[in-house]
Amino acid sequence: MTNQLLSRALVSINWLSEAVKTQTGPALRVLDASFYYPPVRNGREEFEEQHIPGALYFDIDQCKDLESPYEVMLPSESSFAKYVGNLGINNDSHVVIYDADHLGMYYAPRAWWMFKVFGHKNVSVLDGGFRNWRKKELSVTSQKLEVKPETYHAVLNPSMVKKFEDIEKNVSSKEFQLVDSRSLGRYCGTEPEPGEGIYPGHIIGSLNLPFTEFLTEEGYEKSPDELRQLFEGKGIDLAKPLTITCRRGVTACQLAMASFILCKEDTAIYDGSWFEWFHRAKAEYKVSVWKNQKS
């Protein structure tokens, strides 16, 4: 274990604080992926007020399929390549991603997974996020960094992305384990789902393992041994195919990152997740007590 890599997907705050002082240009690109839904906070405005020196803003709500009726679906290869190239990132860049959520890491794992799914080799999440960067009273700035666009080549790994049809087929074939990373209440249907026109519940046959269980109270990733125990405690076999779902493919990436830390590199994300499933699946494939409670 080096000072740089706390695990296969994480860098420490201490390492990054030194790296931003010594590394310049596209060799290191730091991205703030803060985004909030419902929009109780404005990630871009907060970034402009203060961020880690040298960081650029990665807008998950813009780097997506803008024509899809489903929330934050992956963009095309060309769209992703153009977006990140304009952030001064090339295929050799070490990309380090953080967000400012109070949990420590919320949207950063989604951005990490996007880079992984498009074939980027050297991408990490800042363990503890901006919350703990500020707690350590490290330098912040409002200065805008001007970067020169770089050429970026994106190649989608389709095995890491599941579509609606894949999940629908899996209901009967059970080719892969399906795990939902939302809270137990939203999974069961006892807590409301954010947004209008959608009630909580889960995909039939899916297990529940909330992403918050992977984080310490301080906002750091738990140890590899603790991560493994979380999966094993739910009967999830990391030697077998695994797909993660949530509401819209964001917190699911926390579990994908945890499995990557445990050397499982083929965990897939159901990109449309519950939002798409709610609108497209047969009623008997949606499990929830919500309607019965509200009727």
Which CATH number fits the domain that encloses residue 75? 3.40.250.10
Question: What is the reported pLDDT for 294?
Answer: 53
Q: How far is residue 186's CA from residue 56's CA, in Å, rounded to a whole number? A: 33
Do 272 and 187 fall into the same domain? yes
Residue 152 placed within a domain: no
The rounded radius of gyration (Å) of the Cα atoms in the chain is 19
pLDDT the model gives residue 234: 97
Same domain assignment for residues 124 and 177: no
pLDDT given for residue 3 in this prediction: 41
Write down the pLDDT at residue 5: 46
Compute the distance between CA of residue 227 and CA of residue 209 in angstroms, rounded to an integer: 11
106 plus 33 within the same structural domain: yes
Helices (H), the chain: 13-22, 43-49, 77-85, 108-117, 129-135, 164-173, 184-188, 224-233, 252-261, 273-280, 290-294
In one letter, which amino acid is 30?
A: V
Q: Is residue 288 located within the same domain as residue 211?
A: yes
What are 33-88's pLDDT values in tens digits?
999 877 788 999 999 999 999 999 999 999 999 999 998 999 999 999 999 999 99
Full domain range(s) for residue 73: 10-135
User: 177 lies in a domain?
Assistant: yes
In terms of domains, do 201 and 272 share one? yes
Domain count, the chain: 2
Instruction: Give the residues of the chain that fall short of pLDDT 70.
Output: 1-7, 292-295
Q: What is the pLDDT of residue 1?
A: 32
Q: Are the C-beta atoms of residues 259 and 238 closer than 8 Å to each other? A: yes
Farthest-apart Cα atoms in the chain, separation: 61
pLDDT at 37: 78
Q: Is 96 in the same domain as 178?
A: no
Would residue 18 count as lying in a domain?
yes
Global pTM value? 0.94
pLDDT the model gives residue 7: 58
Q: Cα(134)–Cα(130) distance, rounded to whole angstroms?
A: 6
Task: Report the catalytic residues.
Answer: 246
Q: Give pLDDT, residue 183.
A: 97
